[in-house]
Amino acid sequence: MNGKWKIPALACFFVAAILNHSAAATRIKDIASIAGIRDNQLTGYGLLVGLNGTGDRSQTYFPTQTLANMLERSGITINPARVRVKNIASVMVTATLPPNARQGSRIDVNVASIGDAQSIQGGLLIQTPLLGADGQVYVVADGQVVLGGFNAGGRNARVQLNHPTSGRIPNGGLVEKEIIVDLSDRKQLNYILHQSDFTTASRAAKAINAAVDSTVAGAIDSRTIEIMVPDSYGGRIVEYIAEIENVTMDVDIRARVIVNEKTGTIVMGSEVRISKISIIHGSLSVQVGTTYDVSHPNPFSRNGETVIVPEETVTAQEDEGRSVTLPDGASVEEIVKGLNEIGAGPRDIIAILKAIKAHGALQAELVII
């Protein structure tokens, strides 16, 4: 009889993002947005009812206080300390109000438990006002919560899928107050790039000028593009914006290597280059095991007994180190090929990239997440 401890292999991934910017142009609308036209975050406190005994427990007091306040507004006065219910849960309700949302339109809302409810499956959200940063009510939410999982079982056995204490109410928010951005009198538009880059800002301005055959755009910094509205588009500002946002251009991307040490994922773009450098890589394989032998007493022994004696064994094997030399200014393909030639896995490549960056030979930003 023998037993061994096995170290499970960890699945890792290596991704080399080889980008060809000239082959696929990008629209202005995909990399920038007009200053002042943005989403607005809303939050509110609400109460879910109709749960199947999976609501907040007795040690959470504010749900019963909320229930008592709601009943009092309906003309029913009760003592919150004497309320014993398991089918209600206190929740935080959040939503994102898109720009130019009109009164009466509907948006999706998110619901998450803030008490100790086991599950909010089947819960019905009572009318909940959602407030903006200025403290004003912009949306009123209610409706049936939809979950992406469940929680079922008894005291000794329970099955859970995904997260049962947060969900979503499709079209559960009714817009009560509008946030309108008036563009009719604008003589100038400022487009804000999602990623700050001087090269991209300059290219965007040149592409817009070429598309409208006039010098109307200019990059004022690494993120802002200033665009003048011609007099010929007076009263047709929406048409002008539609033409601008569909202008295509080549986006410049910084050389970066993204490393996720938890999953072993590595992503690098075609802009990544390294200086001439030599890498020596050696691997060490260790196996730990235990063998069980049976020890019997001598024949006709009076006090002897059979015992199991464990014998631990440790073996180690070190493979011969292999080396590879990458040329100066090596591309992504050459980096991947060179590291694969020395048998480096994703975790090994992460350590090698760190060492190359510390040496100063990696001509890219190393981002570890």
3-state secondary structure of 275: coil
Q: What's this model's pTM, rounded to 2 decimal places?
A: 0.65
* pLDDT for 48: 92
150 DSSP assignment: E
Cα angle for residues 61, 65, 66 (degrees, 5° grid): 115
* pLDDT for 301: 62
- One digit per residue, pLDDT tens: the chain, 369 residues? 444 333 333 334 444 444 444 446 899 999 999 998 889 999 999 999 999 888 888 667 777 778 888 887 888 877 777 777 888 889 999 999 998 889 999 999 999 999 888 889 889 999 999 999 999 999 999 999 998 755 555 555 555 556 788 999 999 999 999 888 888 888 899 999 999 999 999 999 999 999 989 999 999 999 999 999 998 888 889 999 999 999 999 888 888 888 887 887 888 877 888 877 777 766 544 444 555 566 666 666 666 677 666 665 555 555 565 666 767 677 766 777 777 777 777 777 788 888 888 888 888 888 888
> Which run of H or E residues covers position 97?
strand 88-97
Pairing of strands 150-153, 106-113: unpaired
Q: In terms of DSSP H, where are the helices of 111-236?
A: 198-212
Tokens describing residue 369:
């997440």
207-223: b or e for each residue (b if 16 or more CB lie within 10 Å)?
bbbebbeeebbbbeeeb
3-state secondary structure of 258: strand
Strand partners, 227: 189, 217
Strands annotated E in 103-223: 106-113, 124-131, 137-144, 150-153, 158-161, 166-175, 188-193, 217-219
Cα angle for residues 362, 366, 367 (degrees, 5° grid): 175
* pLDDT for 19: 43
* pLDDT for 7: 33
Maximum pairwise Cα distance, the chain = 115
Going along the chain from its start, the domains and CATH numbers come out as 1-19+253-369 (no CATH), 26-37+182-249 (3.90.1150), 40-175 (no CATH)
Q: Which residues, in sequence order, are CB contacts of 299 under 8 Å at separation 6+?
A: none
* pLDDT for 53: 85
| Cα→Cα distances 321→143, 225, 265, 327, 345, Å | 64, 53, 24, 20, 14
* pLDDT for 106: 95
